[in-house]
Amino acid sequence: MTIRAGVVAVQGDVSEHADAIRRAAASHDETADVVEIRHSGAVPDCDILLLPGGESTTISRLLRDEGIAPEITEHVAAGKPVLATCAGLIVASTDPNDDRVDSLGLIDVTVERNAFGRQKDSFEAPLDVTGLDEPFPAVFIRAPLIDSVGDAEVLAEWDGRPVAVRDGPVVGTSFHPELTDDARIHDLAFFESEVANVVSDLG
Amino acid sequence: MTDETDLEELRRGTELVKRGFAKMQKGGVIMDVVNREQARIAEDVGAVAVMNLEAVPADIRKRGGVARMADPASLREVIDEVSIPVMGKARIGHTKEAQILEATGADMIDESEVLTPADDKYHIDKRDFTSPFVCGARNLGEALRRIDEGAAMIRTKGEAGTGDVNQAVHHQRNIKSAIRKLEGMSHEEREAWARENDAPADLVHETAEMGRLPVVNFAAGGIATPADAALMMHHGCDGIFVGSGIFGAEDPEAMGTAIVEAVNNWDDPETLAEIASNIGEGMKGDANVDLPEEEKMQGRGV
């Protein structure tokens, strides 16, 4: 079966997400047909969406100007899955706590941008994630933290604060699962949950 | 979910974290700014990061004299002003300027030929730093030497402050063409290429196997219009540095907005035509061919 995977590509680490979803699909004997989304019109044909890391100010501005933002909202309203990482999480949140970012309100959380400080404070560390047997190698780059969680499930915490959440079909992480070869977060978002049913129903 | 995450296993400044930062800049425009007001405008028009310096390259050219790291107080002001990453420039080989930039909070350090080199033989040992570095290169050998020293991002040198994109194109073509040749070579031919080009053999093999530089590759040096930015994306760059091109233009906000949009629409000529319309005049600039050899910055630190 082939999954049409849209990687939002207005800015950020797009090719890393494209590689990660191809790897994750292959490990489930499926094929991901990756579409880079830089303009409106492409999202409605996608089964799943990935919102990469990058700069949330730039990404949210271009999503609005290109008319992609409402298409992503409709995708989620239709119950189709999304993985949003770092800047993607900020853009997907209900409240980015910063009027420089227009967020999409897909995940019921309030976030704090650059919560760990500057780039020299960025780090990698093993992280326990609900649903994974072994810790995940999490890479935090000028990462956001989640301040408060509304109607969403916390999947992981760092030092007592949420860094991975699920709200219906949308999974959001403060860290960058696409920067390592470990595809388990992409698995979790698209193949190994109730959402997996959405994907396997596509065939 | 457990709360047993081991804070002891936290690692900062690894190659993954440093190269990862550069990857987050992809598809973006990094703009030179000399003060907080310019930084504010850059963030508002959609820059992914700003590069703080004392004077833009075009003014450094006019002014002459020794060009150094900017006052750390100015870097701090820009850091306080914007939420996007702030980068700073250190002189080639000037380890102390780089340490000061890191201590001040610069998110990335540009070891830059635009400033007057502090060391005529050695670059900074960038692996020693927690912060990621970007370095300029004119060809693949130079790019791989910088990566070997620890650079997490490579940019073309171009010819800064000219507003002439010619040299950025030349350098990007050099890099791409060398990678294509390497891809077709046998193991021993690649080893010989590494020796002939003063490049580390392991990085030569890695580049040949990946079919691209192992780190993010931006364009810089002489990019002055949306069309210039689109041209560099067409040549396979991951993103764009604009130096004097934004704040040297008649209408910096219009020019900045247009360059950001052009990078997202580089392969769509009709949209580019709209983007490039009515944005005021670009920086005046100097054609590279008219520049005396001794005034060129690109030959510094090879």
Short-list B254, B257, B270, B258, CA closest to B226? B258
Q: Are B278 and B251 in contact (CB under 8 A)?
A: no
Among B12, B27, B261, select the one facing A12 at the smallest CB separation: B27
Q: What is the pLDDT of residues B270-302, one digit of tens each?
A: 999 999 999 999 998 888 888 898 889 999 999
Among A98, A126, A157, select the one facing B1 at the smallest CB separation: A157
Q: Write out chain B residues lying below 8 Å of A64, CB-based.
A: none
CA-to-CA distance for A109 and B100, rounded, in angstroms? 37
Q: Distance (Å) from the C-alpha of residue B61 to the closest C-alpha of chain A?
A: 31
What integer pLDDT is reported at residue A198 of this predicted model?
A: 53
Helix (H) or strand (E) holding B136: strand B133-137
Q: What mean pLDDT is predicted for residues A13-42?
A: 96
**In the predicted model, is pLDDT for residue A199 greater than 70?**
no
Task: Note which residues in 155-184 of chain A have CB less than 8 A from chain B.
Answer: 155-160, 176, 179-180
Cβ-defined contact of B46 to A122 (cutoff 8 Å):
no
**In the predicted model, is pLDDT for residue A69 greater than 60?**
yes
Short-list A74, A82, A108, CA closest to A8? A82
Of all residues in chain A, the one with the smallest CA distance to B79 is A118
Of all residues in chain A, the one with the smallest CA distance to B265 is A38
CA-to-CA distance for B136 and B111, rounded, in angstroms? 8
Q: What is the pLDDT of residues B120-167, one digit of tens each?
A: 999 999 999 999 999 999 999 999 999 999 999 999 999 999 999 999
A46 given a catalytic annotation: no
What integer pLDDT is reported at residue B2 of this predicted model?
A: 45
**In the predicted model, is pLDDT for residue A203 greater than 50?**
no
Which residues lie closer than 8 Å to A117 by C-beta, 6 or more apart?
Answer: none
Percent of chain A with pLDDT over 70: 95
What integer pLDDT is reported at residue A25 of this predicted model?
A: 95
In three-state secondary structure terms, A141 is coil
What integer pLDDT is reported at residue A155 of this predicted model?
A: 97
Task: Note which residues in 94-123 of chain B have CB less than 8 A from chain A.
Answer: 102, 105-108
Instruction: Give me the sheet containing A136-140, strands edge to edge.
Output: A136-140, A123-127, B11-12
Active-site option among B89, B96, B284, B296: B89
- φ, ψ for residue A127, nearest 5 deg: -135, 130
Percent of chain A with pLDDT over 90: 94
CA-to-CA distance for B293 and A175, rounded, in angstroms? 47
Strands (E), chain A: 2-8, 31-37, 48-51, 82-85, 93-95, 107-112, 123-127, 136-140, 145-149, 153-158, 161-167, 170-173
Short-list B155, B146, B148, B153, CA closest to B203? B148
Q: What mean pLDDT is predicted for residues B100-117?
A: 97
pLDDT grade, residue B1 (50/70/90)? very low
Task: Note which residues in 24-83 of chain A have CB less than 8 A from chain B.
Answer: 38-39, 53-55, 57-58, 61-62, 65-66
What integer pLDDT is reported at residue A202 of this predicted model?
A: 55
Q: Distance (Å) from the C-alpha of residue B302 to the closest C-alpha of chain A?
A: 27
Q: Are A89 and A52 in contact (CB under 8 A)?
A: no
A176 given a catalytic annotation: yes
Between the CA of residue A113 and those of A1, A91, A108, A145, B227, what are the distances in Å?
38, 11, 16, 7, 33
What integer pLDDT is reported at residue B285 of this predicted model?
A: 86
Q: What is the pLDDT of residues B3-42, one digit of tens each?
A: 455 667 899 999 999 999 999 999 999 999 999 999 999 9
Task: Note which residues in 121-140 of chain B have CB less than 8 A from chain A.
Answer: 130-132
Q: What is the pLDDT of residues B66-96, one digit of tens each?
A: 999 999 999 999 999 999 999 999 999 999 9
Of all residues in chain B, the one with the smallest CA distance to A14 is B26
What integer pLDDT is reported at residue B157 of this predicted model?
A: 96
Per residue, the 3-state secondary structure of B235-277, as one string, reads CCCCEEEECHHHHCCCCHHHHHHHHHHHHHCCCCHHHHHHHCC
CA-to-CA distance for B222 and B219, rounded, in angstroms? 9
CATH class of A2-201: alpha beta
What integer pLDDT is reported at residue A14 of this predicted model?
A: 98
Q: What pTM was estimated for this model as a whole? A: 0.96
- Which of B4, B17, B108, B253 best probes binding to A when mutated, by most A CB atoms within 10 angstroms? B17
Cβ-defined contact of B28 to A55 (cutoff 8 Å):
yes
B6 and A CB contact within 8 Å: yes
A86 given a catalytic annotation: yes
Q: What is the pLDDT of residues B200-258, one digit of tens each?
A: 999 999 999 999 999 999 999 999 999 999 999 999 999 999 999 999 999 999 999 99
Q: Are B58 and B161 in contact (CB under 8 A)?
A: yes
A142 and B CB contact within 8 Å: yes
CA-to-CA distance for B207 and B202, rounded, in angstroms? 9
Q: A1 versus A57: which is more confidently predicted?
A: A57
Does the predicted interface ipTM exceed a cut of 0.90?
Answer: yes
Annotated domain spans of chain A: 2-201
Indicate the average pLDDT of chain A.
Answer: 94
Q: Are A94 and A103 in contact (CB under 8 A)?
A: yes
Q: Write out chain A residues lying below 8 Å of B3, CB-based.
A: 128, 157, 160
Alpha helices (runs of H) in chain B, residue ranges in sequence order: 15-23, 36-45, 57-63, 72-81, 95-104, 140-148, 166-183, 187-196, 201-210, 226-234, 244-247, 252-264, 269-275
**In the predicted model, is pLDDT for residue A200 greater than 70?**
no
Number of Cβ pairs closer than 8 Å across A and B? 139
Name the one residue in this structure whose structure tokens are 């780190």.
Answer: B215
